[in-house]
Structure 1
């Protein structure tokens, strides 16, 4: 299951009780359903997964907290497959994480947002589209996970229904979501991100059962911080 990647450590989570944006008002991916989801790359290849989440600046991605460290040379390749990055590589700029994660690696805060720099005068959301962030703290609705195992060059997907795990975490049974799939979005039928693979034991002890922090007011607060005008 996804491991804590100490070479690229730092980030965390907070979570809200409302859907922050109206999915019907957002642009969808022009070329592929998975354009919003991509692999995070470091010096040694791709190591985690992230996805574009709608924001006023149209430049925001979300992933697991243990996937990002501010200052590291990390880029995001949406729609990556078989060595091809059809939408380009987007340089991670700023990372937003809760101190409970960055200072204490509290697995209940294993969530991070990051802005990415524009390319050729365009923001990433204008190129790929975006999903919305749901922060009502609910689980039990069918979702699709998309993630990039480090040992593979194409995304793996799974559709299943998560269940509650403690009052701050949720889990889902999806086969072969191994190391590298940390940060995979859990997207419901309305295009809302209701979970992000991570949390309990860095996402789980088995590649067949994955975890996420429960997205509630803590995630909403972190989102507001990430989207606050600078």
Structure 2
């Protein structure tokens, strides 16, 4: 299935179509873009390929140049090609509307005016109401990046094909300070993790204190006049309580 179908007139949109094909293929994969000259294999029925390609696409990009509306009919002098129901530029757009694809008019050049619905056949009048994008050779990279970003937001399924997003995620993982899940070979002690995570401990087998202040180990006896012993005590503990003796004890 082709996600994008590039619709254009040879007279004023051929070069732009190649650029769109190249950039969108680079970002979403070459199989995601249908362009007649590239996508129709020798010997196949090109009519079936065109109609099938349009009906299965998610987005049709109608590249509209200065001659798009007034392009002359090749076999009928004095008539516009767009007025002929058999005109393939017209038929592809009609098929896209009928199939429920997202149809995006792309105005080629800064001087290209918005479409006038009064100059369009009835079946194409909705095209004048579709929000358009603008493309110029001078700002080609920025224009196509913006278009791709917007289409990903409008057609969520495109996100899984978007190599730009995958590349950004991979780059973010390599930045200093980023936190990743890693397998540690440390058998003990305290190690530092990149970033503001703090400390981690692997296989601690004894008393541990990672904060501030004194560390107390071993048994502790609370009370007046007592001592506490930390560590392994091997001797006795002598305590003296001044000023008091038990009855019957003269020591």
TM-score of the pair, normalised by structure 1: 0.24
Which structure has the highest helix share of the two? 2
Larger relative CO (CA 8 A, sep 6+): 1 or 2? 1
Instruction: Say which structure is richer in strand.
Output: 1
TM-score by length of 2: 0.22
